[in-house]
Amino acid sequence: MKQAAHLALRGTAGAISLLISAGAAQAAGFALPYQGASSIGNSLAGSAALGEDATTVYFNPAGMSRLQTRQVSIAGHYVDPSFKYTDTGSTGPAAFTGGNAGDFASNTFLPTLFAVLPAGAWRFGLGISAPFGNKTDYDAGWRGRFQADFTEVKFINVNPSVSYQFADWISVGAGLNYIRAEADIERSTLLAPTVEGRVRLTGEDSTFSYNFGVLINPTPATRVGLSYRSRIDFDLSGRQRVTQASGAEVASATFDVRADLALPATTALSVVHEVNNRWALLGDVTFYQWSVIQQLVPRNASTGVASAPLNLRFRDTVRVAAAVNYRINEAWLLRGGLAWDQAPVASAEDRTANQPDSDRTWVSLGARWDVSAAHRLDFAYAYVMLAASSINHTVTNAGTLRGDYDNSAHILAAQYTFSW
């Protein structure tokens, strides 16, 4: 079954180029919140309770019951990050120096596709998106290259879903997820006390997870959504390759590897309250179980002997968001939102150059244009500010990296929804 699903996914991914990462993902950890412009405009507030378009397949499949026609939503998200590092006194490895890292997060375009088909009290949906991803690419010769130089993790998620409306006030939904992961990590390494080489680790795997949700209308003006996405476990298989400065391979340190990687379960509680026919208030609390990620330990696939681990030591986190929507007229709706997104990195000692995360504050604006009953456009902008952070991270044989990070990002999103 996994092989058949993998072949189908490869065809889909080739068609829409969706096996993607993001330059320093703009949600805590390496979660990607880019599932549609309609949610970005609200800083994701109320996403599990809105059910206003097909993107609810991801946020809460129970929300599909609110859609009365067949619907397809296609969205694109342009992320423009500014991530900069300034060294403040790194040490080791002996005899090696280096500069600052430049802007090590690249611009990224992230597409999504969602569809919903009504059938009586049932709804059937499909989502194709990337729920996680990250990429950091430091300047050549930077001071921390023995800890991290290039890191990229890419994911694609195919999410068929179903919902059922038991009564006007309650719906439930569930989905199956097929997730493909690819990882590529590269850094410098010591081949001898004064000899620098390179080590590259690659791995990939595919697996399944599940999600479910419930949507309740306690009053005609209020909706409450509860959504859960399960933990995802990968058994990555790939290769460790060590090379000299000349590019020649070090045969004794080059071999096939395996590594376990877990992604967190998430639980979201959302509320939407329509104050009147113009104003709506939205709120959201999402819990991430990031503590499932402590280390990434590559092991020789033949002997089981471990290579140097990547210590992340993540903690569980919470994300809170609030938003307001204002309907100008039948054609136009305005959105505005704020969010605080806690980072899974607890201290400067735990912060890594692979994932230089810190708490994030979102400020967003958006607009929805109902062109006609069949055609709808959404636009959104978000500014993400990361709290000023420092790193004081020690790795055996790679020294101690000490410095400051100054990080932020701009997000532009557009979405087209077709109903028929």
pLDDT of residue 110: 93
Cα–Cα distance measured from residue 349 to residue 395, given in angstroms and rounded to the nearest whole number: 10
pLDDT of residue 104: 83
pLDDT of residue 259: 94
pLDDT of residue 308: 84
Tens digits of pLDDT across the chain (420 residues): 444 334 333 433 333 444 555 555 556 778 988 899 999 999 999 999 999 999 999 999 999 999 999 999 999 999 999 999 998 988 877 556 777 776 788 888 999 999 999 999 999 999 999 999 988 999 888 888 999 999 999 999 999 999 999 999 999 999 999 999 999 999 999 898 888 999 999 999 999 999 999 999 999 999 999 999 999 999 999 999 999 988 999 999 999 999 999 999 999 999 999 999 999 999 999 999 999 999 989 999 999 999 888 889 999 999 999 999 999 999 999 999 999 999 999 899 999 998 899 999 999 999 999 999 999 999 999 999 999 999 999 998 888 999 999 999 999 999 999 999
Could you tell me if 183 and 211 are in contact, meaning their C-beta atoms sit under 8 angstroms apart?
no
pLDDT of residue 231: 97
pTM of the model: 0.90
Place of tokens 């062109």: 371
pLDDT of residue 307: 86
